[in-house]
Amino acid sequence: MEERNIGYVPQNYGLFPNMSVRANIEFGIKVRGVPRQERERRVRELVRLLGLEGLLDRRSQELSAGQQQRVALARALAIRPKLLLLDEPLSNLDPKSVRQSISYLRGLVDELSIGSLVVSHEISSLLEVADAVFFMESGKLYSLGSAEEALRNPRYLSAARYLGFETFLKVLRIDGNEAIVEGLGSVDLSLLGNRPARLDSSLALYLALRPMGVVVEDAGVGLDAVRCHLSVEGTAQGSYMWIEGMWRVRVRLPDGAEVLAVASRRVKAREAVTLCIDTNKVALVAGERF
């Protein structure tokens, strides 16, 4: 990576515990022989960009995880890399630090115009800073397009799991625009807002549903309007508070398939319900369910 001028931020940040924040930031450029005056200028610039004022004389063990990450970022950026590589940048952070980290990453991308490659399992949190999304599985790399395209049409079941889709109903067969889907029966595919132009015909197909696209019909008051393109009967298996004023409900359909839905009230176990499905929030994906 040194020969290719790539700045790297490892998952554990890789800071030197026996060095101050200043020395950690300067390490790479000092090894490269950058003059002291230029080193000091770069450190000042990065301290400003990353909000590290007042921390330069501290050791890494005296910093929070979020501060350690910013120091590691500063060290990687000090060498003026052609590419910045970040390995699981959100994995060691609490929710508040995650939001701060995303804000700093977005600012750095905009201000420094350095290409960045972020490797993460926390893809949903990072979509707001992503210009393009790729998904790797079994050693193969798949392009999902822009962040908006990836959210709307992930194409692959495994990718959809990381992008907020939680229910996957198998497509039993397709005849033109009509699909026979487990639990739903006949579905008009022309209603899908997220139907890809092409899918791998060698893989099984599924309808992927987001919980916010499936609402318990008589318990949806207060939820954002959902266009009811499909209705299906089912039996609630239980519910739990998801976020304030909203409940997640697990519903079993007549053929035994289960769907995650949302409601604005607690739905009792074994209660008969009608689900309203917004097909604009449904995607057709290929893959294997496991």
Read off the amino acid at residue 83: L
Residue 138 included in any domain: no
* Distance from C-alpha of 219 to C-alpha of 275, rounded to nearest angstrom: 10
Q: Tokens representing 132?
A: 């393009």
DSSP H or E run through 206 = strand 205-209
Count the alpha carbons within 13 Å of 248 in the hemisphere toward its beta carbon: 13
Beta bridge partners of 261: 249
pTM greater than 0.95 (yes/no): no
pLDDT by residue (tens digit) across 49-79?
A: 888 999 999 998 999 988 999 999 999 999 9
Extract the tokens encoding 268. Answer: 């009792």
145 occurs within a structural domain: no
What is the phi/psi pair of residue 63, to 5°?
-105, 155
Over residues 78-92, the pLDDT tens digits come to: 999 989 999 988 887
Kindly state whether residues 78 and 162 are assigned to the same domain.
Answer: no
State the residue range of the domain holding 273: 155-290
Other CB atoms within 10 Å distance of the CB of residue 68:
21
Residues 175 and 280 reside in one and the same domain: yes
- Sorted by sequence, the CB contacts under 8 Å of residue 284 that are 6+ apart come out as 171, 189, 192, 194, 195, 196, 199, 205, 206, 207, 208
Is the same domain home to 121 and 229?
no
- Give a yes or no: residue 146 inside a domain: no
Q: Is residue 147 assigned to a domain?
A: no
**Strands 258-263 and 272-277, how do they pair?**
unpaired
Do residues 193 and 287 share a domain?
yes
CA–CA separation, 138 and 220 (whole Å): 40
Per-residue pLDDT of the chain (290 residues; tens, 9 = 90+): 656 789 999 989 999 999 999 999 999 999 999 999 999 999 999 999 888 999 999 998 999 988 999 999 999 999 999 899 999 888 878 877 787 788 777 777 777 788 888 888 877 777 877 889 998 888 888 888 888 888 888 888 988 988 889 999 999 988 888 889 999 888 888 777 666 556 666 778 999 998 888 988 875 544 555 567 788 999 999 888 777 678 899 999 999 999 999 998 888 999 999 998 888 888 889 886 54
- Residue 257 maps to a domain: yes
